[in-house]
Amino acid sequence: MAAPPTGTRPRVVLGVAGGIAAYKACELLRRLTESGHDVTVVPTAAALEFVGAPTWAALSGKPVSTSVWDEVHQVPHVRIGQSADLVVVAPATADLLAKAAHGLADDLLTNTLLTARCPVVFAPAMHTEMWEHPATQANVATLRSRGVLVIEPAEGRLTGKDTGKGRLPEPDQILDVCVGVLARGGAAVPHDLAGRQVVVSAGGTREYLDPVRFLGNRSSGLQGYALARTAHARGAQVTLIAANVALPDPAGVKVVHVGTTAELRTEVLAAAAAADAVVMAAAPADFRPAEVSDAKIKKADDGSAPQLGLVQNPDILKELSHHRPRADAVIVGFAAETGDATGSVRELAAAKLARKGCDLLVVNDVSAGAVFGSPDNEAVILSAEGDATDVPRGSKAAVADAIWDRVVRRFAG
């Protein structure tokens, strides 16, 4: 699909500071332009030590400058910031955060940050010691107190052999945040889940027949991961129980990896004990082999196939809803439905909500094709009281935000 003309596209300034994670900003730039944003890259001189100007110019389709002394007649140090709809700095180094917090302006990017009146997002990346240093933490607190969105860095492998907190969040996660900020018309991300503990399950469980074979399903985990990221951005303490998901762990989220429905049940029930909300976005296998072979099942020479006996798995959502660990917790289920002779999608979903006993049910109509692995989604959120909220087609992050909006409404009674 062709991108809309430049004038109608949201104008994003991508600031890049001098950290090794600058290479990941190339991917963010590509995602931003592919998703219809008009991007101007403003790297620092140090950033160009890691990724050269030709790369930024080729990927953005625009000239790139680090200095206020280029094209002075166009007053770039004022124009770029003033005309932006969003400024995102990725990676934001400790030095850049310090400059931004103190209003220093010695290059094009720091000037742009002072002249911008649009929302600003920082995605920090640095070594753990630098991130945890009281100076950096104070600078981050100052920026946040001014309404700037500083994403929490991810944990994992850093430059060299060490690991810890300080990795640049994945480009998709930064993109989600940017799209969310733009969708809210620049309004700050609501911190309406602050002080809340939420549990999200994601992915599809696998039920092993033997050490190498399993029964599974096609759930990608994208919607569950988007729920975890958006809840974290809205201030919640998030536990994500992930079943066989091949996505990077979201920054700032406690992730517990599981394989089978039994493991998913154990972890969800344990985490649910203290949770204000549990969202079951995972697709647990409903059945598992009655017997699991310790050794790989061999083919018989006579051409016969083994007969598989199956037993039903526990229904985690139903158990949670009927034996609530906390009476005031909001329990949310998902349902992928196609209408059939017995009822429409809405009727079948309402019956499922009643059967499961949850408070909210997010219903995907999959008659026209599956949503598995797609970056987009659309849904209807049904409540136990019988009302329905339509969520129009949009990114899985936007659908996640609509689900949290509905959960927050329920918290408010």
In three-state secondary structure terms, 3 is coil
Residue 84: count of CB within 10 angstroms of its CB: 23
Q: Give 62-65 contacts, CB < 8 A, sequence gap 24+.
A: 65/108
Which span sits near ligand CTP by CB under 6 A: 86-94, 209-217, 311-319, 365-373?
A: 311-319
Q: How far is the CB of 120 from ligand CTP (least distance, A)?
A: 37
Could you tell me how many residues make up the chain?
413
- Terminal-residue alpha carbon distance, the chain: 43
Residue 150: both structure tokens together: 């500083």
Q: How far is the CB of 261 from ligand CTP (least distance, A)?
A: 6
Q: How far is the CB of 320 from ligand CTP (least distance, A)?
A: 7
Residue among 169, 171, 203, 284 that touches ligand CTP (CB under 6 A):
284
Q: Which helix (H) or strand (E) holds 225?
A: helix 222-233
Asked whether position 169 contacts ligand CTP by CB under 6 A, the answer is: no
Residue among 315, 359, 365, 401 that touches ligand CTP (CB under 6 A):
315
Looking at the DSSP assignment, which residues form a beta bridge with residue 18?
none
Beta carbons of 337 and 363 less than 8 angstroms apart: yes
342-361 mask for ligand CTP (x: CB under 6 A)? ----------x---------
244 catalytic residue (yes or no): no
Between 235 and 314, whose beta carbon lies closer to ligand CTP? 314
Residue 253: both structure tokens together: 């989220």
Asked whether position 404 contacts ligand CTP by CB under 6 A, the answer is: no
Strands (E), 204-246: 207-208, 214-215, 237-243
Residue among 333, 350, 371, 399 that touches ligand CTP (CB under 6 A):
333
Residue among 97, 231, 258, 317 that touches ligand CTP (CB under 6 A):
317
Between 315 and 365, whose beta carbon lies closer to ligand CTP? 315
Q: How far is the CB of 313 from ligand CTP (least distance, A)?
A: 5
Residue 175: both structure tokens together: 């993109």
Beta carbons of 13 and 111 less than 8 angstroms apart: no
Q: Which positions touch ligand CTP (CB under 6 A)?
A: 261, 280, 282, 284, 286, 313, 315-317, 333-336, 352
